[in-house]
Structures are given as structure tokens and as C-alpha cells.
Amino acid sequence: MSRVFKLKSSDNETFEVEEAAALLSETIKSSSSTEITVPNVKAEILGKVVEWCNKHAESEDTKDQLIKEWDAEFVSVDQHVLFKLITAADYLQIKELVDQLTQRVGDMIKAKTLKTVEMTYPTFNVEREVQEELKSLGF
Amino acid sequence: MAKSSYQTYRRRTRSYRNWLELPDDVTASILSRLGAIEILTRAQKVCMPWRKICKDRLMWRTIDMRNDGFLRDYDFDLDKMCRHGVDRSSGGLVDINVEHFGTDELLKYITNSSTGIRRLRLVCCYGITDEGLIEVASKLPLLEHLEISFSFASAQSLEVIGRSCPLLKSLKLNKYGYRCPYHECDDDALAIASTMHDLHHLQLCGNKLTKDGLQKILDCCPNLESLDLRKCFNINFGVVSKRRCSKRIKSLRLPDDSTDDYEFDRANRRELYAQTHCDPDYGDFLLFGRSVFGRDW
């Protein structure tokens, strides 16, 4: 008989998750209770994480082309949602989801589409320090 | 500044601040996906927290020096950069990818300080010779994944590597494939069969091996799960042997199979592909020239 876990968001919404999907989270795996509150994660984001877990629990072969396409769609969100998803996935320790999300952020940095104040207004001192180091190293 | 644009600035910077609040290990995971060149030349200049993460030795357990091969476009020395990355790893290096540069001396430098390398990838490294590979083979006892594609590795170095790396599970040895019936050679296949018995994954695209060499590999590598023989045009598969092969091997790619998902396919990667099939080494020579003299060669 598979257990059902209850995940509660910071704005008090509860999501019921089947065992196979829930155990994709190391945090849930090592929890003694089946009722877990996820702090600082609102329902909108927690819902998406649950959706990802459900999708990955039902697919046996994660190398399948269809699920790859689904995953690519899943991470194609704006950077604010991306940030919140990473925070949630990191708290819940869902390694593969964190990997997919961090890969997406890495791609955005490479493509120069990630906007952070540091990247828009870089700190002069850091740049200078690094240039000096690179010069002293000969490249 | 006018009041309204200042407020816009404040609102914008407030929403931007978040990214530095991520835990260090998550940020490290993000930045490590940029590849070593971008980390050293861009990411580590962005702000002090990112610089600190980029200097941490854990970031340098993997060094991915991927680049598109147009070395003249770079203002910096990839060899020096690679050595710097190795230094930052402080002996903790486990996975390194070298593309379109690299010498025997660099290989020695890498393996002298890093005794735990598990994955080594050398693509288009024309400065690395057989002797260089043979010399460092004994320093790679934990090697599990090896790729030597479009580089001058002969059967002799394969044998030495096979004997020195008992944990080797995956080998990729890709060359340019030519339809050249008079140039058959089972040397690579025999070297693999005689020394690499625990292989699970083998990619031998563009190799000149024949059915005999393939049979030897199948006989001596009982754990083989995936076998990629695309562009190995000297192998004549009969219907029966194709069936027998695919029964044993979970993932089998045959000589004439599609190269859509082959990393070094013309369309997938900007590589020169020699059209001639008179001189089998022409393609290698052409690429060598390009890597040394630049794209206009």
C-alpha cells in the first residue's frame, strides 16, 4: 500500500503526493512524518515542483525524448520563477530537478539573458582584481 | 536623478538581489556549467561572492575547457588557463575535457598533481602524442571514462592504457570515417579486446576495423552494453550477425545509421570533413592545419 504525503506551502495550501513522487525528495525521504511544511515556498511554486515529481515518478525511462522535451518546457520560465523553483527544489533536495534548473540558469548566463544587478552594473574593483591576477598568470 | 527613475532603479535592483541569496553550492552548480574559459574570463569578475565561489577548489573538480576550436579568436592562452584550473583544484580534479589544444607537457602537468582522475576527454589534441599518452597512463589508475577523438592515438597507447586502467568502463575513440575498402585495420580493435575487458560502453566511429576485429571485441568484452560503430564502413554485417549483435548489446549503432545525434556530425558541430576518400589521413591533416593556422588555412 503506497503512502500519501502531504506537502504544505507557506501560504497554507496542501498538496497530496503519492509515495513514488514524494520520495524523489531526499528531504521527504529522511523525514519521519508524512506531513511536511515547506517554508518560504508559496503554493504556486510548490505546485509546479509537485507536478515535476509526479511526471518523473510515472516515467520509468528518464532518457525518453518526450520527457526531455517536457523538462525543457518546464524550465523555460522567467528568471523570478526560476529562482523560486531552485530554492524550493534545493530545500526539498530533489537532485535532478536542481540540476535541470541550474543548467537552465547557466544557459541564460551564457546567452546573456540572465539579469542581475551585479551583471548589469559589475563591480569595478572585482574586475580590476581579476584582470591583475590573470595578467600575473600570463593569460 | 529624477525621483521616478531612482524609484525604478531601486525597484529593479531589489528584484535583482535574489541571486546572491542562493546557497553557495547551488551557485557553484550554476557557474560550473559555464565551462572553465567562461568562468575564468567572465563569471568570476561579476561580484565578490561569485569570485569567492570560483576560487573554491570544489568548483575545479571538473574542468571543461570546451571551445569551438577557433584559437586565433581568443586573446588568451588555453594551455595556461588549463594549468591554472588544475592548480585551483588542489589535487581534487576528477574530470577534465581538453579540446583543440593540449600537449604532452600539459598532460604530464595534469596527471602529476591529480591522482584521482576518473574521466578524461581529449578531442582534437594534435599536440598529444602516443609517447605522451603512454607516459601518463600509469598515473590514471582510477580512470573509468576515456575519450580520445580525432587525436593521434595508436593501438600501442591503447594497449598501455588498457593495462594501466583496470576500472575503464567507457571508451570513445572517434576518427573520420572513409569508405576505403583497401584500408582495413584491426589494430585498435585488437588492442581494446586484449586489454579492456570490463568495457560497458564503446564508441568507435570512423574506425577501419573489420568484422574480425569486431568479433574479437565481442568475445573479450562480455559486459558491453552499448556499441557505436557508425562510419565503420569496413564491417560487413550479415542479417544473422546483426541480429546476434543487437541481442547482446542494448544500444547498437551500425555503420550506416543516422548521425543526427552523433556529436561530431557535420551539421552538429563545426568540423571540417574531408570529402576525398583517396587519402584516409587527409581529413585529419586538414583539421590539424586548421587548428594550428586558423580557420582560413
pLDDT in tens, B131-162: 999 999 999 999 999 999 998 889 999 999 99
Nearest to A114 by CA among B36, B7, B16, B38: B16
pLDDT digits (tens, 9 = 90+) for A6-41: 999 999 999 999 999 999 999 999 999 999 999 989
H or E element: which one contains B164? Answer: helix B155-164
Q: What is the mean pLDDT of residues B191-206?
A: 96
Please, what is the Cα angle at A44 between A38 and A48, to 5 degrees?
85
Nearest to B286 by CA among B270, B296, B274: B274
Shortest alpha-carbon distance between residue A14 and chain B (Å) = 25
Are residues B47 and A123, on separate chains, in Cβ contact within 8 Å?
Answer: yes
Pairing of strands B145-149, B119-123: parallel
Q: Give the per-residue pLDDT at B277.
A: 32
Phi-psi region of A40 (alpha: psi -120 to 50; beta: other; left: phi over 0): left
pLDDT digits (tens, 9 = 90+) for B1-36: 555 666 666 655 555 557 888 999 999 999 999 999
Percent composition of chain A: helix, strand, coil (DSSP 3-state, to 5): 60, 10, 30
Say whether residue B59 is in contact with chain A using an 8 A CB cutoff. Answer: no
Say whether residue B128 is in contact with chain A using an 8 A CB cutoff. Answer: no
Q: Where are the alpha helices (DSSP H) in B34-98?
A: 36-41, 48-55, 78-89
Nearest to B96 by CA among B35, B141, B176, B179: B35
Shortest alpha-carbon distance between residue B99 and chain A (Å) = 18
Q: Give the per-residue pLDDT at B296.
A: 44
Are residues B30 and A109, on separate chains, in Cβ contact within 8 Å?
Answer: yes
Is the pLDDT reported for residue B287 higher than 90? no
Q: What is the mean pLDDT of residues B61-88?
A: 86
Q: What is the mean pLDDT of residues B72-83?
A: 81
Which residues of chain A neighbour B40 with C-beta distances below 8 Å?
134
d(CA B29, CA A114): 16
pLDDT digits (tens, 9 = 90+) for A71-128: 999 999 988 899 999 999 999 999 999 999 999 999 998 888 887 767 766 666 787 8
Q: Give the per-residue pLDDT at B276.
A: 30
Mean pLDDT of chain B: 84
Which residues of chain A neighbour B225 with C-beta distances below 8 Å?
none
Q: Give the per-residue pLDDT at A37.
A: 93
Chain A, residues 8-47, CB within 8 A of chain B, namely: none
Q: Give the per-residue pLDDT at B274.
A: 33
Assembly ipTM: 0.88
Environment class of B36 (CB within 10 Å of its CB; exposed 0-12, middle 13-18, buried 19+)? buried
Shortest alpha-carbon distance between residue B113 and chain A (Å) = 18
